[in-house]
Structure 1
Amino acid sequence: MPHPLDSFFAPASIALIGASRDHEKIPGRLLSMLRRNEYPGKIYPVNPNYAEIDGLICYKSIADVGAPIDLAVIIIPARAVLPALEQCAAAGVKNAVIISSGFAEEGGDSATMQEAIAALAARTGMRISGPNAEGFFSQVQSVAATFSPAVDVKPGVAPLVATTRRIGIVAQSGGIGFAYYNRAKALGVAVSYVVSTGNESDLGAGEFLDYLVQDGSTDVILLFIEGVRDVYKFLAAARRAAVIKKPVIVTKVGRSSAGERAAASHTASMAGWSAAYDAVFAKYGFIVSDDLDEALTIAAVLASNPLPRGDRVAVVTVSGGAGIWGTDAVALGGLRVPELSEPIQAEISKLMPSYGTARNPIDVTAQGVTSGGLQRSVDLLTASDEVDAILVMLSLSSEVRMPFKEAELKPVLAAQKKPVVFYSYTLPSDFARRELAKSGVVVLSGLTHVGVALRQLVDFATFDPPSPADEMRLPAYDLSACLKSPVLSEADSKTLLRAAGIALPEEVLVAGKGGLDAAIARLSFPLVMKIQSPDIVHKSEVGGVRVNITTKGEVFLAFEQLLNNARKHRPDAAIQGVLLGPMAKKGVEIIVGTMTDQTFGPMVMVGLGGITTELFRDVVYRPAPVSAAEAGAMLAGLKAAPLLNGFRGAAKADVAALAQLIADISVLAARHAQKIAEIELNPVLVHGEGQGVTIVDALVVGRK
C-alpha cells in the first residue's frame, strides 16, 4: 500500500533551489552528493546567477523548469525561503527539504517565518521537512539529498556490508543522525534511510518513524530525539511497531534539564523530566540507549541475528581471560552462562588441547583455531538446546589469517537458529571485517555494549504489545459537580472516586460535634479520624490524623485535638470537618496515581507506597489508559515486586485486585483528562490473595 511519503524518499525528480558550482560550499555539495551516489532521477538546479552547473541546465526559478518535481531541496537565505516555497507550491512540487537555517531556533521574527512555513504546508498540502535540516539519505533508492560528508563515496573503495537486514535512522539532530550512519557503515551494517528532521515545521519525527515502521526495506529503527512534536502520529507509529515486532532503539536527550513541577501529589513531583518519555518507550517496547556506540551495537546485533528463545548464553573464546571477562559482561546483564552437559563437553573436549576447558565459558585455546575446534564448537552450540545465544570472543587483528572458513561458517549463520555475536578484544583489521562480512558477521569491539545488546535482545524477544484497556468497566459519569476546587480534600476526592465507580470503604465526614454520634453508629471500631481541608494536602504534617480509636470518648477527644492542631498549624485553612472511617486491615503499602504530562497527556504510576514513597522512588509510569494485564507488568517492574509475591514466606498479596485498580484509575484519568490533572491514592493497602485492596487516602487535583 502506498505511503504519503513515498515521493519524498523516492523522488523521480529533484530541484535544487540555490544550487552552486562551488563544491566546497553546502549548495554545491548537495548536487555533488546526489551525483556521486548515482541518483537515478532528474536533477534541476535553480539559481538565477547561472545558465548551467556541472553540465546541467540551471533555471532562474522553479516555474521555469516546466516539468513535474517530486522534491525541492532549498538552500537559500532564510528571508527568501517562504517566497520560494510559494513558487514551489504553485509549480506543483510535492515535497520540500529546507536546509536553510535562521528560523525558530533564533526566535522573534525568525520563528514567525517558520510558523508561516507550517501554515503554507497545511494550506497547500506540500510536505515540508525542516527548516534547519541536514536532509536525508535513501540508500535503497540512491537519493543523497544532504550535504553530510558521511554519504560521500570514495572511488574504487568497495563498501563493507555484512548484513542483509537494514537499519533506518530518524534524528532530530542531523549531525548525530549521520554519525549513526557513519558508524553503521564502518561496522558493515546496511542502512535503508537516514533522515534529519530539523525544526519540524511540518514533517516531524513521528511521521518519519511511521514511514520506517511500514517500510519493507527497514528491519531495525534508530531514533534520536529531543522531544516529540507530532505526538499522535508518533504514538500511532510506536503502537504499529510494537504490533509488528519491529525493533526501535531510541536515544532521548535533554534528560538533565531542571524541570521543576508545581505538583500537589507525590505522583507528579516524583516524575522526572523524562519520565513520560520513558513510560511511552516502555509501553511500546522501545529499546532505550543513552550511548551512541551502544545503540549501534544493539542495532548491529539485531540486524545480524534472530531473536533468542531464552537467556542462556555460551561464551566461546581462544583466551581464558577473555572468556571470564565475557562471562562477567553477560552475567552483569542478568543473563545466564550455564555449565554445559557432560555429552556436549565431551564432544568439545575432543577439539581442543588438554589445557582448554569445555564447561562454559569454553576456551578452545589458540590451538583450537588451527585445529578447527573453534568452528566445530560453534556448530555444536548452534544445534544444542542447552543455550539460546553464543558470544564468540577472539582476536581479529591479523591482516592475513582468518579463524573461520567462509564455506563452514556462512551456512551455520545463515540458518539463523540462534544469535551468534562476535567480539574482538584486539582492534579488528579491515581484512578480518571484510572476510567475516562475507558470512554475515558484524565484528564488535565494545564488550560492555555487547553485554547490553544481548540483554536487550532477550528482553525484546519476550515483549508483547500492550492489550487495550477495558474502558467499559467504569460507568460514564459527569464529574464536574465533584470538582469543587483545583485541589480537593480527601473526603471530596473520595466522593469523586465513588461517583466514577471506584470502590472505597464507607466513611463519614463530620463538620461539628453534633454529628459524631450518628457517625459512630454507622461505623465499626477501631476507627481512623482525619482532618479535612483542601488546603491541607499532607495531614500528618499538621497533626491531623488519629488512628486505632476504640471508644466513643476517644472519638470526641480526637475530634477536638484534630481541629485545634489544624487551626494552630494552618490558621488560614478552610476546614471542612473530620473524616471518620474504619481502620484498614494490614497489607502491603502501594501508591497508585496519575499525572498529566505536557507532551503525552495522562500518565499512570504505581510504586512502593506510604511515608517512604519519595525516599525510595520505586515507581513505574505508563501512558494512560492501561489494561489490567499491562498494570500487572508495571507491578512486575518494581524493585519492591517481591513484597507482593510472598517475600520471605509472607502470604502473597492480591496482585490481581491491585492491577485492576491501577487499570480503573488510568481509565478515569484518560477519560477525564480535560478536568483532572492529578490523582493520588497513597497508601493503597494490598491484602492477601483474594482479599482485595483498600484505598486509605486519596487526593484529586483538578485542571486549573
Structure 2
Amino acid sequence: MPHPLDSFFAPDSIALIGASRDLEKIPGRLLSMLRKNGFPGKIYPINPNYGDIDGLQCYKSIADVGQPIDLAIVIIPARAVLAALEQCAAAGAKNAVIISSGFAEEGGDSAAMQDAIVALAKRTGMRISGPNAEGFYSQVQRVAATFSPTVDGKPNEQLPVASQRRIGIVAQSGGIGFAIYHRARALGIALSYVVSTGNESDLGAGEFFEFMVQDASTDVILLFIEGIRDVDKFLAAARRAAEVGKSVIVTKVGRSGAGERAAASHTASMAGWSAAYDAVFAKYGFIVSNDLDEAVTIAALLTTNPLPKGDRVAVLTVSGGAGIWGADTAAMQGLRVPELSQAIQAEIRKLLPSYGAAGNPIDVTAQGVHSGGLQRSIDLLAVSDEVDAILVVLSLSSDTRMPFKQAELRPVLDAQHKPIVFYSYTLPSGFARSELAACGAVVLSGLTHAGVALRRMAERARFGLAPAVDAAAAPLHDISAHLKSPTLSEFDSKALLREAGIAMPDEVLVTERNALDDAIARAGFPLVMKIQSRDIPHKSEVGGVRVNIATKGEVFLAYQALLVAAGRHRPDAAIQGVLVGPMAKTGVEIIVGTMLDATFGPMIMVGLGGVTTELFRDVVYRPAPVSAVEASAMLAELKAAPLLNGFRGAAKADVAALAQLIAQVSLLAAQHAGEISGIELNPVLAHAEGHGVTIVDALVVRKK
C-alpha cells in the first residue's frame, strides 16, 4: 500500500524554485547534485531571470510548467518563500522542501513567517519539510534534493558495499545527518534515505521516522535528535519499530543543558535534562550512542550480521597481544570470553603451529593464515554452540594480499549463523575493504567501538517490548476531594493515595494531646511520630520525625518536642498535627516517584531509596503507565537489584508486590497528569518475599 510520503522521497518530477547557473551558490549546486546523481524524473528550473539552465528550459513561475509536480525545492530569500509556496500549492505540487533560512531560528517577524507556512500546509494539504533544511537524499531512487557535498557524485567512483541491507537516517541537523551517511558509505554500508528535518514547520522527525519504519528498503534506522515536536507520531513509530523488530540507533544531543524542572522532590531533581528521552528509548529498545563513529559501527554490524543468541564471544587473532587486547575489550563491555571445550580446542590445534593458542583468545599466528588455519577456525566457530559471536582481530593493511579467499569466507558470512566482526589493528587498505565487502563484511578500525557494538547487539537481542497499559480503560478513582489545597502534606498525600487504591500503613493524625492514648492503642509499640504541615515538605530538616518510640511516656514527650521543633524552625507554618503509626518492619529501601516531562508527559521512576537516594542516583525511568511486568524489568536494571534478590544470604525481597505498587503509582500519574505534577514515595520498604511493601513517607505535588 502506498505511503503519503512516497511522492516526497521518490518524486517523478521536481520544480527547483530559485534555480541558478552559478555552481558556487547553493541554488546552482542543488541542480548540479540532482543531475550528477542521475535523477530519473523531470526537472523544472524556476527563475524569471533565465531562459534555460544547463540545457533545461527555465520557467518564470511554477504556474508556467503546466505539468504535475511531486516535489518543489525552494531556495530563495526568506521574505519571498510564502508567496512561492502559495504558487506551488495552486499549481498542485504535492510536497515542498524549503532550504531557505531566516525563519523561527531568528525569532521575531521571521518566526511569524514560519507560522504562516504552518498555516499554509494545514490549509492546502501540501506537505512541507523545513525551512532551514539541508534537504534529503534517496539513494535507491537517485534523488539528491540537497546541496550537501557528501552526495557530490564523482565520475567512475566505485565504493565497496558490504550488504544489501540499508540504513535510513533522520537528523535534526543536516550537517550531522549527511556526515553519518558519509562515514557509513566509507565503511561499505548501503543507504535508503538521509533526511534533514530543518525547523519542522510541517513534517517532523517523528513522521520521517514513521516512514522509515514502514519502508521495506530501510533495515536499520539512525536518529540524530535535539528535541521531538510531533511526539505522538514519534511514539507510534517507536512502538511499531519494536513490534516489527527494526533496530533503531539514536543520538540525543542537548544533554548538558540545565533542567527546567522545579526541584520540589528528589524525583524531579534527579531527572536531569534527558531522563524522559532515555526512558522512551529504553521502553522501545533503541540503541543509544553518543559518538558518531560508534553509531556508524553499530549500524555496520546490524546491516551485515544477525543478532547474537547470547553474550559469549570468541576472539580469533593472528597476533597474541592483539588477541588479548580484543578479549579484554569484550570483557570490559560485560561480554563473556569463555574458555573453549577441550573437544573444540583439539580441533583448532590441528590447524595451528605448536606455538599457537586454542583456548580463547585463539591465536592462529601469522603461519596459521598461510596454512588456512584462520579460515577453518572461523568455519568451526561459526557453527559451534559454545560461542555467540566471533571477533576477528588481524592486520588488513596490504594492498595486494588477503588472509581469506572470497569463495571460502563468503558462504560462512552468508549463512548468518552469528555475528562475525573484523577489526584491523593496522589501517585497513582500500583493497582489503573492497575484498571483505565482496564477502559481506565491513572492516572496523576502532576496537572499543567494535566491543560496544557487540554488547549493544547482545542487549538488542534480549529486548522484549513490554505489554502496553491503556490508562483510559483502567478504573478511574475520584481524588478531587484531596486536591483542595495548593500543597499537600504527607497525611494529605497518603489519604489521596489510599483513595486511589494504594495500600497505606494504618496511621492516625493526632491534633490534640488527649487523643494520644487512642493512637497508641491503634499503632502499638514500637511506633513512629511525624509532624504534619503543608508548609513543611521535608520534615527531617526541621527535626520533625521521631522513630522507635517504645513507651507511653516517650510518646507524650515526643509529641510536645515535635510541636516545639516545628515552631522554632518554621514559626509561620500551619501545623495539621502529628501523624502516629507503627514502625515498619525492616526491608530494602526503594524510592518510587513520578514527574511530568514537557515533551513526553508523565514518567515513573524507581531507584535505591532512603537518605542516600541523591548520593547514588541509582534510578531508572519509563514513560507512565507501566505494567507490573515492565516495573519488574525496571527493578532488574538497578545497580542495587542484587539487594532485592537475596544479597549475601539475605531473604529475597517481595519484588512482585513492589512491581505492583510501581504499576499502580504509574497509572495514577498517567490518569491525573492534568492535576498531579509529581508523586514521591521515599522510602518504600520492600519486605521479605510474601510480606509485601510499606510506604514509609509520601508526597504528592499538585500541578501549578
CA contact (8 A) 2:121 2:202 kept: yes
CA contact (8 A) 1:470 1:627 kept: no
Give 4+ residue runs of structure 1 displaced > 3 Å after superposition. 470-475
Determine the structure 2 residue equivalent to 1:505.
505
Give the stretch that moved more between structures: 574-583 or 288-297: 574-583
Give the Cα separation in 2 of the matches to 1:470 and 1:693.
25
The SS at the match of 2:679 is strand
Give the Cα separation in 2 of the matches to 1:552 and 1:365.
81
Determine the structure 2 residue equivalent to 1:268.
268
Q: Which amino acid aligns with 2:415?
A: A
Q: How far has the Cα of 1:523 moved from its partner?
A: 2.6
CA contact (8 A) 2:607 2:613 kept: yes
1:14-163 → structure 2 map (5 Å cutoff) = 14-163=14-163
CA contact (8 A) 1:591 1:684 kept: yes
Pairing 1:585–2:602 present: no
The SS at the match of 1:161 is coil
Give the Cα separation in 2 of the matches to 1:476 and 1:364.
66
Q: How far has the Cα of 1:158 moved from its partner?
A: 1.4
Q: How far has the Cα of 1:557 moved from its partner?
A: 1.8
Determine the structure 2 residue equivalent to 1:422.
422
1:199-348 → structure 2 map (5 Å cutoff) = 199-348=199-348
Pairing 1:609–2:636 present: no
The SS at the match of 1:648 is helix
Q: Gaps spanning 5+ residues in structure 1: where? A: none
Determine the structure 2 residue equivalent to 1:647.
647
Pairing 1:548–2:534 present: no
Q: How far has the Cα of 1:516 moved from its partner?
A: 2.3
Determine the structure 2 residue equivalent to 1:479.
479
Determine the structure 2 residue equivalent to 1:535.
535
Give the stretch that moved more between structures: 369-378 or 546-555: 546-555
Give the Cα separation in 2 of the matches to 1:486 and 1:300.
54
Determine the structure 2 residue equivalent to 1:576.
576
Give the Cα separation in 1 of the matches to 2:357 and 2:523.
72
Give the stretch that moved more between structures: 504-513 or 426-435: 504-513
CA contact (8 A) 1:131 1:199 kept: yes
Q: Which amino acid aligns with 1:143?
A: V
The SS at the match of 1:611 is coil
Q: Which amino acid aligns with 1:70?
A: D
Q: How far has the Cα of 1:553 moved from its partner?
A: 2.6
Give the Cα separation in 2 of the matches to 1:614 and 1:157.
56
Give the Cα separation in 2 of the matches to 1:17 and 1:203.
19
Give the Cα separation in 2 of the matches to 1:551 and 1:349.
76
TM-score of the two chains, using structure 2 as the length reference: 0.99
Aligned length: 704
Please give the per-residue CA displacement for 1:211-264, whole angstroms capped at 9, x wherever unaligned: 111111011011101111111111111111111111100001111112253221
Give the stretch that moved more between structures: 678-687 or 29-38: 29-38
Q: Which amino acid aligns with 2:649?
A: G
Q: How far has the Cα of 1:348 moved from its partner?
A: 1.2
Give the Cα separation in 2 of the matches to 1:515 and 1:62.
85
CA contact (8 A) 2:275 2:621 kept: yes
Determine the structure 2 residue equivalent to 1:411.
411
CA contact (8 A) 2:471 2:670 kept: no
Give the Cα separation in 2 of the matches to 1:386 and 1:518.
67
Q: How far has the Cα of 1:471 moved from its partner?
A: 4.7
Determine the structure 2 residue equivalent to 1:558.
558
CA contact (8 A) 2:170 2:209 kept: yes
Q: How far has the Cα of 1:474 moved from its partner?
A: 6.4
Q: How far has the Cα of 1:470 moved from its partner?
A: 6.7
Please give the per-residue CA displacement for 1:588-645, whole angstroms capped at 9, x wherever unaligned: 0000000011111100000010111111111001110111111111101101000000
Please give the per-residue CA displacement for 1:42-90, whole angstroms capped at 9, x wherever unaligned: 1111111111111111111111111111110000000001111111111
CA contact (8 A) 1:475 1:501 kept: no
Q: How far has the Cα of 1:119 moved from its partner?
A: 1.3
Q: Which amino acid aligns with 2:357?
A: T
Q: Which amino acid aligns with 1:198?
A: G
Q: Which amino acid aligns with 1:363?
A: D
The SS at the match of 1:144 is strand
Pairing 1:635–2:638 present: no
CA contact (8 A) 2:396 2:432 kept: yes
Pairing 1:383–2:419 present: no
CA contact (8 A) 1:318 1:366 kept: yes
Determine the structure 2 residue equivalent to 1:664.
664
Q: Which amino acid aligns with 2:331?
A: A
Q: How far has the Cα of 1:550 moved from its partner?
A: 2.4
CA contact (8 A) 1:167 1:220 kept: yes
Determine the structure 2 residue equivalent to 1:355.
355
The SS at the match of 1:576 is strand
Give the Cα separation in 2 of the matches to 1:486 and 1:253.
36
Please give the per-residue CA displacement for 1:402-454, whole angstroms capped at 9, x wherever unaligned: 11000001011001011100111100100111111111010110000000000
Q: Which amino acid aligns with 1:61?
A: S
CA contact (8 A) 2:476 2:671 kept: no
**Compared CA separation, residues 499 and 567, structure 1 to 2 (3 A):** same
The SS at the match of 2:293 is helix
Give the Cα separation in 1 of the matches to 2:470 and 2:696.
25
CA contact (8 A) 1:170 1:224 kept: yes
The SS at the match of 2:259 is coil
The SS at the match of 1:211 is helix
Q: Which amino acid aligns with 2:605?
A: M
Q: Which amino acid aligns with 1:505?
A: P
What is the root-mean-square deviation in Å for CA atoms of aligned residues?
1.1
Q: Which amino acid aligns with 2:137?
A: F
Q: How far has the Cα of 1:202 moved from its partner?
A: 0.8
Q: Which amino acid aligns with 2:99?
A: I
CA contact (8 A) 1:469 1:663 kept: no
Give the Cα separation in 2 of the matches to 1:649 and 1:423.
43
Give the Cα separation in 2 of the matches to 1:475 and 1:97.
46
**Compared CA separation, residues 74 and 470, structure 1 to 2 (3 A):** closer
CA contact (8 A) 1:473 1:664 kept: no
Give the Cα separation in 2 of the matches to 1:473 and 1:653.
31
The SS at the match of 1:347 is helix
Please give the per-residue CA displacement for 1:182-231, whole angstroms capped at 9, x wherever unaligned: 00110000010000000111111111110111111011011101111111
**Compared CA separation, residues 119 and 474, structure 1 to 2 (3 A):** closer
Give the Cα separation in 2 of the matches to 1:674 and 1:279.
21
Q: Gaps spanning 5+ residues in structure 2: where? A: none
CA contact (8 A) 1:474 1:664 kept: no
The SS at the match of 1:438 is helix
Q: How far has the Cα of 1:554 moved from its partner?
A: 2.2
Determine the structure 2 residue equivalent to 1:449.
449
Give the Cα separation in 1 of the matches to 2:99 and 2:549.
72
Determine the structure 2 residue equivalent to 1:702.
702
Q: How far has the Cα of 1:473 moved from its partner?
A: 9.9
Give the Cα separation in 2 of the matches to 1:218 and 1:616.
41
Q: How far has the Cα of 1:515 moved from its partner?
A: 2.7
Give the Cα separation in 2 of the matches to 1:470 and 1:658.
20
Q: Which amino acid aligns with 1:225?
A: I
Give the Cα separation in 2 of the matches to 1:180 and 1:143.
18
Give the Cα separation in 2 of the matches to 1:639 and 1:436.
40
The SS at the match of 1:236 is helix
Q: How far has the Cα of 1:469 moved from its partner?
A: 2.5
